[in-house]
């Protein structure tokens, strides 16, 4: 998969030689609805011997239009890359939104899709908006492309548990800590993959070492509480217990993610560790003493050890 990071939309054309099947969207979360678009372009590209292309933004468009982090993101740029590599996409384009935000819908169709991307098929979701001030919708896109003899397909909503799958609904589920439903809508567990930083080392002092990870600005933060998780460390998977919160028992003064990897012994400082969230099983509470906290963590570990991760 070739990744194109560009500010000049004309640069794209110099990189792409074949016709393309293009999926359009912000693709935050890369949930099962997004995957319907991705699967369609990869299927079509293979059948027609053309290139598959995901066209998205370096930053969520609403965060540029409204303000920084108006929409907290579910998947980082790096996570999007890793997920799409597994889908065998030929080109992943991170477009700088500011360089196309004032294009009219017609100019977007003409310059970006027809000329620069050399599109043969364009796929978008039913609620897709594009062009200056979001003036174009999915039907306008389909009609405009038809005039240029380019096929366009509008993918209807994917329904899960009677609910249309959307990034906004998944954000709601993450914020309330409903990771079991999040996993159904994403098609995989919600995860974080941040560097391990130094904390107060309270866990090590009580014989239960933990790793601390800070949420970058703009990243969605799950509900405070205790979660059964898995951690990926150099190809190995460990069951884990993660606390999202401020650690009130030790007078914590900022929110972070603190994880104990069950049956792991090693130094992870400075390394990026992926933590997959499966279920929130209790709230974060303040204990009267470190001994009380230690006893509860032991119970939490047994819960996670016995949990049926799938």
List, for residues 118-135, the tens digit of each pLDDT value.
Answer: 999 999 999 999 988 889
Assign 138 to helix, strand or coil: helix
Q: Which residue has the higher pLDDT, 180 or 204?
A: 180
Over residues 268-280, mean pLDDT: 95
Q: What percent of the chain has pLDDT over 70?
A: 90
- Quote the DSSP letter at residue 113: I
pLDDT at residue 251 greater than cutoff 60: no
Q: Which residue has the tokens 């039913």?
A: 126
Residues 143-165 have a mean pLDDT of 95
Least confidently predicted of 99-108, 166-175, 217-226, 247-256: 247-256
Stated pTM of the model: 0.91
Q: What is the DSSP letter of 214?
A: P
User: What is the total residue count of the chain?
Assistant: 310
- Residue 160 bridge partners (DSSP): 163
Q: How far is CA 230 from CA 25, 37, 242, 265, 284, in A?
A: 30, 29, 9, 15, 19
Digit-coded pLDDT (tens) for 12-43: 767 787 899 999 999 999 999 999 999 999 99
**Distance in angstroms (rounded) separating the CA atoms of residues 251 and 194:** 23
* Confidence category of residue 250, pLDDT binned at 50, 70, 90: low
Nearest Cα to 117, choosing from 135, 100, 138, 133? 100
Chain mean pLDDT for the chain: 90
Q: What pLDDT does residue 98 have?
A: 81
CA distance 205 to 195: 22
pLDDT over 60 (residue 249): no
Please report the pLDDT score of residue 248 as a whole number.
61
Contact 150, 120 (CB under 8 A): yes
Do residues 24 and 130 touch, judged by C-beta distance below 8 A? yes
């Amino acid at each position: 998969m070739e990744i194109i990071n560009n500010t000049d939309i004309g640069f794209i054309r110099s990189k792409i030689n074949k016709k393309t099947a293009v999926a359009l969207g912000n693709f935050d979360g890369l949930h099962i609805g997004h995957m319907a678009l991705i699967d369609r372009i990869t299927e079509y590209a293979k059948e027609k011997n053309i290139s598959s292309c995901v066209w998205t933004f370096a930053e969520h468009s609403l965060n540029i239009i409204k303000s920084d982090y108006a929409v907290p993101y579910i998947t980082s740029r790096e996570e999007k890359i890793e997920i799409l590599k597994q889908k065998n996409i030929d080109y992943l384009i991170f477009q700088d939104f500011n360089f196309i935000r004032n294009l009219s819908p017609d100019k977007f169709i003409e310059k970006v899709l027809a000329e620069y991307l050399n599109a043969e098929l364009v796929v978008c979701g039913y609620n897709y908006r594009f062009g200056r001030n979001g003036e174009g919708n999915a039907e306008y896109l389909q009609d405009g492309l038809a005039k240029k003899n380019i096929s366009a397909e509008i993918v209807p909503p994917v329904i899960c548990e009677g609910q249309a799958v959307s990034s906004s609904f998944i954000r709601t589920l993450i914020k309330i800590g409903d990771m079991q439903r999040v996993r159904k809508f994403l098609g995989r567990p919600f995860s974080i993959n941040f560097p391990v930083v130094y904390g107060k080392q309270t866990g090590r002092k009580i014989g239960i070492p933990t790793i601390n990870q800070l949420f970058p600005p703009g990243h969605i933060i799950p509900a405070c509480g205790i979660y059964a998780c898995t951690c990926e460390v150099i190809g190995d998977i460990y069951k884990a217990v993660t606390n999202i919160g401020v650690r009130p028992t030790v007078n914590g003064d900022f929110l972070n993610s603190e994880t104990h990897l069950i049956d792991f012994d090693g130094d992870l400082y400075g390394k990026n560790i992926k933590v997959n969230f499966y279920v929130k099983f209790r709230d974060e509470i303040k204990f009267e003493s470190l001994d009380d906290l230690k006893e509860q963590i032991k119970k939490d570990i047994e819960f996670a050890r016995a949990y049926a991760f799938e």
